[in-house]
Structure 1
Amino acid sequence: MTPPSASLRRAARSAERLCYAVGAVLVLSGLAHLVVFAVDGGPWEGPVSWRKPVTFGLSFGLTLMAITWVTSYLRIGSRVRNVLLVVFAADCVLEVGGITLQSWRGVPSHLNMESAFDSRVSMSLAVGGGVLVVLLSAFAVASFRRRPTGPAGMGLAVRSGFAVLIVALLSGAAMIARGVVLTRTGHQEAAYHSTAPLKPLHGVSLHAVLVLPALAWLMSLTGWRDGTKERVVFGAVCCYAAAVAGAGVWALMTY
């Protein structure tokens, strides 16, 4: 009879392989649409452009792979982690799929209530965004409840990465909320452009959960003392926090 621990390890590896594979497909989708943009042309900015399937494919793919890797350092039950990762992967596919579908249809993906079908797509993306907030917040809470494992500086890197990721989630929620209010009050065109001030903040804060732990891992390959590694990671966290603060100030000044 197979020991329960062995079964859990196999399930964890299967969930990780699935998430890495899905993440890779999403990244390839983003790159493929970059080729489509190069061939088809059109505007890069605006509610209808090839930019959206490119950036969302790349961002969601990288984030999915980053979360899969980073959560391996969390002190969290294997079953819980596996379920959260698989749901997260499915939600990433939903988000990128809906955005890509609307781009090929030549209509806005978010905040689009022009038809019944567009409204359903827009609402599914909004609900998917809510699911993302819940899942990633659960991982963030786990990182602060018990110190993450890993080499010197990894605990700080993981916790800081998730803390900054919360900023990305909040800024994304603010963009959606602002856009929905404008849409519901009859200002559809203004809704499409209302998200611009928060996009830099959202984009910068989204990938700290990959950049900071990756730096801590790179430090583990050096022969430096643990204290030096931790100081390097701490300095990187401060620099990243300054970049996020700068993006936040810019958003406040232009909102």
Structure 2
Amino acid sequence: MPGASGARRYSTGRTATAFRSTTTCRRTPGKPAAHGEPDASDSPGRTGGQQRPRPARTLPQPERGAAARRTALLRDGAVLIASGLVHLVVLLVGGGSWGGPVSWHKPVTFGLSFGLTIIAIAWVSSYLRIGVRTRTVLLGLFAADCVLEVAGITVQAWRHVPSHFDMETPFDTGISMTPAVGGGGLVAILSTLSAAAFLRRPGGPPGMALALRAGCGILSIGLLPGAAMIARGVYLTRTGHQLAGYASTASLKPLHGVSPHAVLVLPVLARLLAMTSWSPHTRVSVVRAAAGCCAAAAAAALVRAVAAH
């Protein structure tokens, strides 16, 4: 019958089409396609049988801002270190006294010390488990405070007047009060970062958490004599005993100068140990011994300061 013959032809054609489709889908990968079959190179997203390169991954806006801030902090630290070295050359070439309230040693020591501290805090803070925005704000305030304090000390050194406890003119008073106000800000910022190191275990290789917590703890101890030096010196100067104000800070300087750098030395040691083949237990033991040495040095400086009084 004509109708039955047409139905058979339709059914046969549909079966053949389905068979070709099934054969195409089951074709072995890498085998050339037969004539009339679709090739993988004709599929969307491929050119010449090769996958198109994916676009480069972009960081979220907060992470990009944090990366830019770390770069800026490293630049600020390098500038302060360079300033300290330049003034060291000025001292060596031009001569002058290393000690005393008016000398080149202050822009040298403060430039080197604050520059290293900025770089250290910018690096070690990346291991702390705090929010990106919070870290960015704290580090920005910390860097601005450090740069402002070193700038004031440097200006006074070139003017050949004391940078601390000098109340002779309104300008000198403003410069000398900068360490007092800025010191309070530094204590608040560094105390916040130190608290973050103890509240949540920091990341990093074995020994890094111990290095950060020990370094931040010793750093916090070193901040206390700095605050005490400023408070006592300002009080004695305002009561008419400026020379006594300078003399009152001498015994606390070693503790204040040595303690803050543990937060850089110990994490660097932990990072260097991560490059060795030593076991995690051995690396942690080495960091623990180094932390004990730093704590002993801070304790010796504290005993010396107490004995001097």
TM over 0.5: yes
Match of 1:154 among 208, 233, 237: 208
1:181-240 Cα deviation digits (max 9, x unpaired):
211221111111211100111111010000011111111010000000000001111111
Cα distance in 2 for residues equivalent to 1:202 and 1:165: 9
Count of equivalent residues: 254
Q: Does 1:115 align with 2:172?
A: no
Matches of residues 18-167 of structure 1 in structure 2 within 5 Å?
18-167=72-221
Q: Which residue identity is paired with 2:221?
A: V
Q: Which residue identity is paired with 1:85?
A: L
SS of residue paired to 1:207: helix
Would the aligned equivalents of 2:207 and 2:283 in 1 still touch at CA under 8 Å? yes
The equivalent of 2:293 in structure 1 is 239
Which blocks of at least 5 consecutive residues in structure 2 are unaligned?
1-56
Query: Radius of gyration: which is bigger?
Result: 2
Which blocks of at least 5 consecutive residues in structure 1 are unaligned?
none
TM-score (ref. length: structure 1): 0.97
Q: Does 1:201 align with 2:265?
A: no
1:76-99 Cα deviation digits (max 9, x unpaired):
000110111111111111010000
Would the aligned equivalents of 2:180 and 2:231 in 1 still touch at CA under 8 Å? no
Cα offset for 1:124?
2.0
Q: Does 1:254 align with 2:308?
A: yes
Q: Which residue identity is paired with 1:213?
A: P
Higher RCO, Cα 8 Å, sep 6+: 1
Cα offset for 1:44?
0.2
Cα distance in 1 for residues equivalent to 2:222 and 2:153: 19
Cα distance in 1 for residues equivalent to 2:267 and 2:180: 29
Instruction: State the superposition RMSD in angstroms.
Output: 1.4
TM-score (ref. length: structure 2): 0.80
Where in structure 1 do 4 or more consecutive aligned residues deviate above 3 Å? none
Identity across aligned pairs (percent)? 60
The equivalent of 2:11 in structure 1 is none
Cα offset for 1:17?
0.2
Q: Which residue identity is paired with 1:44?
A: W
Cα offset for 1:25?
0.2
* Comparing 70-79 and 121-130, the one that deviates more: 121-130
Would the aligned equivalents of 2:202 and 2:209 in 1 still touch at CA under 8 Å? yes
Would the aligned equivalents of 2:179 and 2:230 in 1 still touch at CA under 8 Å? no
Cα offset for 1:155?
0.3
Query: Greater helix percent: which structure?
Result: 1
1:117-149 Cα deviation digits (max 9, x unpaired):
111111122111111111111101111110000
* Comparing 205-214 and 180-189, the one that deviates more: 180-189
Q: Which residue identity is paired with 1:73?
A: Y
